[in-house]
Amino acid sequence: MTSLRCFGTPLPGDLGLRRIANRAGLSVDLLPNGSLFAIGHDHGRGSTLISQIEGAALEGGIGRLVLRRRAPDPATAEMVGPAARVAIAAGPDSFVWEGVSLGIGHRVTLWLHPDRPVWLWRVELTN
């Protein structure tokens, strides 16, 4: 006789998420693998999942920023996402991904406005 196996979906508290949030109720959660887990907004009457598809602890998610180089030979590399080869830092209002891919230095910052439900992506490239 085979044993019964039960599987459950992990709760956000089980995933080791890092979170940034602002006073307007906007929050962004990051998985340990560097992938965005969720962007949400708590508007006082409940919350809204803005990203619609949450990232996964094993495979990341669909939220990626990709660097595409066209010359001398076409190639792509992730700057944000589960396959990105980057160092990741978190502050109270921002996440930063920094690395070198395809010979190009890149620094990506996701920043939350302190008082409004606004976020900003900043991508810096160094050749």
Q: What pLDDT digit, counting tens, does each position of 5-56 carry?
A: 887 777 778 888 999 999 999 999 998 888 888 899 998 888 898 887 777 7
Q: Which residue has the tokens 């180089």?
A: 69
Per-residue CA distances from 78 to 24, 107, 120 (Å): 30, 12, 19
Assigned token pair, 91: 């502050």
> Of 6-10, 97-101, 111-115, where does mean pLDDT reach its minimum?
6-10
Q: What is the pLDDT of residue 1?
A: 65
Are 82 and 60 spatial neighbours (Cβ–Cβ below 8 Å)? yes
- Residue 103 φ/ψ region, left for φ over 0, alpha for ψ in the -120 to 50 degree band, beta for the rest: left
Q: Rounded CA gap, 105 and 120, in Å?
A: 20
Q: Rounded CA gap, 101 and 5, in Å?
A: 42
- Whether the predicted pLDDT of 95 surpasses 90: yes
Backbone angles phi, psi at 13, to 5 degrees: -70, -15
Mean pLDDT of 51-73: 82
Neighbouring residues of 107: CB distance < 8 A, sequence distance ≥ 6: 96, 97, 98, 123, 124
In the chain, what percentage of residues exceed pLDDT 90? 59
pLDDT: is 32 or 101 the higher one?
101
Mean pLDDT of 64-68: 93
- Residue 25 φ/ψ region, left for φ over 0, alpha for ψ in the -120 to 50 degree band, beta for the rest: left
